[in-house]
C-alpha cells in the first residue's frame, strides 16, 4: 500500500517553497487500487497537512491510468486562470512554475500537487446551495469563454458521448431482443430518440471551453464571507458550455445528498440551479427550446435505470423478463414524450 511519512511531506513542502515543517497530516481520500490487484502501483491519495503557523494545505499523490503529468498540469493551469478571473478556488503551489511534479516515494512513482486547504465544504444541497452553484458555474463559464481556456480532455457530461448521466447503448445494442418483445414500441422510442438527438446536436459545433466538469457537493465550499468556491479539477476538460450547465444541473438535482426531502425537491433544485446560472449568463431562446429534448433523453435513458439500479434494463434483458421489459419500454416512451419546459421564474 502507498504510504507517506511526515519526512516525505516535509521534503515535498520545502520544494514547493513552504519552509515550515509540517506537524501532522490526515487522509482525506484514498482509492484502494491494490484491493483489486495487490501488485497495482496505481495511487490516489489526498491528504491534509497542518503546520504550526502556515495555513493547512492539501497534497494529492496520483498515479492513475490515462492520467499524465501534462494532463494534471493543464488542469492546474485552468484552476489558476479561473482564480485570476475572480473565481474562488484554492491557491495552487508550484516549483519554478510547475504545479504537477514527479516523486518516487515508498516504491511508487507519483505525481504530486499542493494547494491550500479550504474550510466550509458543502455536504448537502438545498435550493440556496443549488442557486449559488448555478451562479458559480455561470461565472466559471464566463471566465473560461472570455479567457479562451482549454484543458483539451474529455468530460463526464457531454451528452453526445458516453457520459455519467444517461446511456443509450443498452437499448440500441439489444435491439433484436427488445424488438422481438415490442416491435412497434421499440421503433417508436428509437425514432423519437433519433429526432431528439438531432435537435440536441445543434450545439455540437460550438467552440468548447474548459469546464471543471464535476461541480457537485464535496467539491464545493462556502467561505467565511458566504461566497462559494470550488476545488477538484480531476474531471476538468472541454465541453460545450450549454451541455455542461444542463447536465450538471440535472446531476445536482438528482444525485446529491440533500438537506430535506419533499415531493418538489428535484424540480426546485433544478430550477434554482438554472435560475442562478441565468442571472449571470442568460440562456438564449434556442437553448431554452432545446432544453426539454435534452432532459427527456436524460430521463428516458437514465444510467441507473439502464445498468445499475434495481430492475435495470440490462438485468431484465439478462433474465429475459418480457413483461417487465414491456413496462420498462412504456415508461421510457412516456418519459420521452413528457417534455418539460425550461424552468425559469417569472
Ligand atoms: N483544497 C481543499 N480544501 C479542502 N478540502 C479538500 C480540498 N481538496 C480536497 N479536499 C477534500 O478531499 C476530498 C477529495 O478530494 P477531491 O479532489 O475532491 O478528490 P476526488 O477526485 O477523489 O473527488 C474532497 O471531497 C474534500 O473533502
Ligand atoms: Mg471530488
Q: In this predicted model, what pLDDT tens digit does every residue of 183-224 receive, in sequence order?
A: 999 999 999 999 999 999 999 999 999 999 999 889 999 999
Decide: 305 in ligand 1 pocket, CB within 6 A. no
- Percent of residues, the chain, with pLDDT higher than 90: 94
Q: How far is it, in rounded angstroms, from Cα 218 to Cα 31?
A: 16
pLDDT digits (tens, 9 = 90+) for 314-330: 999 999 999 999 999 99
Distance in Å, CA 232 to ligand 2 centroid: 5
pLDDT, mean over the chain: 96
40: pLDDT confidence band, cut at 50, 70 and 90? confident
The pLDDT of residue 346 is above 70: no
Q: Do domains 6-116 and 127-337 have the same CATH topology?
A: no
- DSSP label at 153? S
**Closest Cα to atom 14 of ligand 1:** 29
Query: What residues flank ion ligand 2 with Cβ within 5 A?
Result: 219, 232
Q: What is the mean pLDDT of residues 271-281?
A: 97
Decide: 229 in ligand 1 pocket, CB within 6 A. no
pLDDT value of position 202:
98
281: pLDDT confidence band, cut at 50, 70 and 90? very high
Decide: 46 in ligand 1 pocket, CB within 6 A. yes
Q: Which atom of ligand 1 has the smallest separation from the CA of 233?
A: 17
Ligand showing the shortest atom-to-Cα distance for residue 214: 2
Q: What is the mean pLDDT of residues 334-340?
A: 97
The pLDDT of residue 148 is above 90: yes
Q: What is the mean pLDDT of residues 305-312?
A: 96
35: pLDDT confidence band, cut at 50, 70 and 90? confident
CATH of domain 127-337: 3.90.1200
Nearest alpha carbon to residue 79 among 97, 64, 91, 94:
91
Helices (H), 223-321: 241-254, 265-280, 285-300, 303, 313-318
**Which residues have C-beta within 8 Å of that of residue 164, sequence separation ≥ 6?**
156, 157, 251, 303
Decide: 115 in ligand 1 pocket, CB within 6 A. yes
Nearest alpha carbon to residue 153 among 232, 212, 225, 220:
212
Decide: 342 in ligand 1 pocket, CB within 6 A. no
pLDDT value of position 9:
97
Could you tell me the three cell numbers for 270?
433544478
**Closest Cα to atom 21 of ligand 1:** 234
pLDDT value of position 133:
98
Nearest alpha carbon to residue 294 among 158, 188, 190, 130:
158
pLDDT digits (tens, 9 = 90+) for 43-66: 999 999 999 999 999 999 999 998
Query: In the chain, what are the domain boundaries?
Result: 6-116, 127-337
39: pLDDT confidence band, cut at 50, 70 and 90? confident
The pLDDT of residue 6 is above 90: yes
Q: Which residue matches cell numbers 479550504?
A: 118
Question: Which fold does the domain 6-116 belong to in CATH?
Answer: Phosphorylase Kinase; domain 1 (3.30.200)
CB atoms near residue 29 (< 10 Å):
13
Amino acid at each position: 500500500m502507498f504510504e507517506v511519512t511526515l519526512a516525505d511531506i516535509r521534503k515535498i513542502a520545502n520544494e514547493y517553497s513552504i519552509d515550515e515543517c509540517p506537524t501532522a497530516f490526515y487522509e482525506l481520500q484514498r482509492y484502494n487500487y491494490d484491493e483489486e490487484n495487490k501488485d497495482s502501483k496505481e495511487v490516489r491519495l489526498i491528504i491534509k497537512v497542518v503546520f504550526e503557523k502556515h495555513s493547512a494545505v492539501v497534497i494529492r499523490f496520483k498515479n492513475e491510468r490515462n492520467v499524465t503529468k501534462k494532463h494534471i498540469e493543464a488542469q492546474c493551469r485552468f484552476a489558476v486562470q479561473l482564480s485570476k478571473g475572480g473565481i474562488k478556488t484554492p491557491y495552487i503551489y508550484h516549483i519554478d512554475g510547475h504545479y504537477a511534479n514527479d516523486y518516487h516515494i515508498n516504491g511508487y512513482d507519483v505525481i504530486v500537487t499542493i494547494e491550500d486547504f479550504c474550510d466550509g465544504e458543502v455536504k448537502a444541497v438545498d435550493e440556496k446551495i443549488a442557486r449559488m452553484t448555478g451562479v458559480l458555474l455561470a461565472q466559471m463559464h464566463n471566465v473560461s469563454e472570455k479567457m479562451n481556456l482549454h484543458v483539451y480532455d474529455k468530460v463526464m457530461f457531454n451528452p453526445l458521448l458516453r457520459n455519467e448521466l444517461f446511456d443509450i447503448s443498452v437499448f440500441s445494442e439489444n435491439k433484436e431482443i427488445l424488438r422481438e418483445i415490442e416491435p412497434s414500441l421499440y421503433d417508436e422510442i428509437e425514432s423519437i430518440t433519433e429526432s431528439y438527438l438531432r435537435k440536441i446536436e445543434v450545439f455540437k459545433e460550438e467552440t468548447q471551453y474548459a469546464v471543471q466538469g464535476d461541480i457537485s457537493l464535496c467539491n464545493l465550499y462556502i467561505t467565511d464571507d458566504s461566497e462559494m468556491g470550488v476545488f477538484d479539477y480531476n474531471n476538468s476538460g472541454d465541453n460545450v458550455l450549454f451541455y455542461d450547465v444542463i447536465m450538471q444541473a440535472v446531476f445536482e438535482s438528482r444525485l446529491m445528498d440533500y438537506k430535506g426531502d419533499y415531493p418538489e425537491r428535484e424540480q426546485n433544485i433544478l430550477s434554482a440551479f438554472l435560475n442562478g446560472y441565468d442571472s449571470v449568463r442568460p440562456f438564449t431562446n434556442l437553448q431554452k427550446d432545446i432544453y426539454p429534448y435534452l432532459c427527456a433523453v436524460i430521463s428516458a435513458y437514465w444510467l441507473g435505470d439502464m445498468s445499475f439500479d434495481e430492475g435495470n434494463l440490462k438485468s431484465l434483458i439478462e433474465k429475459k423478463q418480457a413483461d417487465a421489459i414491456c413496462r420498462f419500454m412504456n415508461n421510457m416512451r412516456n418519459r420521452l414524450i413528457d417534455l418539460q419546459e425550461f424552468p425559469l421564474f417569472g
